[in-house]
Structure 1
Amino acid sequence: MDPDLALALGLIVGGFSIPSMLSAVTDGRAPRASALTILIATGLVFYALSVKPGGYTLSQVPDVFFAVLGGFAP
């Protein structure tokens, strides 16, 4: 898997899991599914950081994210 794609997917999955976790906590339920998705997102981000030589800087993250999204645009 391309490290740029892994980073973008990790950020998307992590972003979607935060509202789910907050909803579960406010309803008094255990956030099991949200915790699993956060683990998956963390694994994808760490995979991207470990596979790419030199890793990513914080200023590169938006460029990488939009480059991956731009690759799917017609």
Structure 2
Amino acid sequence: MTYDTFFVVGLLMLVLAIPAILGAFRRGQTPRIPGLMLLIGGGLIVVAISAKPNAYSISTIPQVIDSVISHYVAYLGA
């Protein structure tokens, strides 16, 4: 479950970094924090994929996200 969590958090960071990068470029600023988010998110995804090479594909991403969310919802007791 740990590598699935790494994968989902990495995806979330990549998705959140894209609008932040576009907004920084639009304001004429250097996207330092969004660039760092890209590096961290990409690193988490690389760690997860290198630990479980055949576990992640485009078709399994929704299942992985669902399993991570359901794990943490059950952990919180909701």
User: Do the structures match in fold with TM over 0.5?
Assistant: yes
For residue 11 of structure 1, what is the aligned residue in structure 2? 11
Q: TM-score when scaled to structure 2?
A: 0.87
| Runs of 4+ more than 4 Å apart | none
Which one has the bigger helix percentage? 2
Partner amino acid for 2:36?
Answer: L
User: 1:16 Cα deviation (Å)?
Assistant: 1.1
For residue 72 of structure 1, what is the aligned residue in structure 2? 72
Q: TM-score when scaled to structure 1?
A: 0.91
Deviation string, structure 1 residues 16-74 (Cα, Å, up to 9, x no partner): 11111111000000101110100000000011100014241211111001110111212
Report the RMSD for the aligned CA atoms in angstroms: 1.3
Relative distance call for 1:53 and 1:24 in structure 2 (3 A) is closer
For residue 44 of structure 1, what is the aligned residue in structure 2? 44
* Number of residue pairs aligned between Structure 1 and Structure 2: 74
For residue 24 of structure 1, what is the aligned residue in structure 2? 24
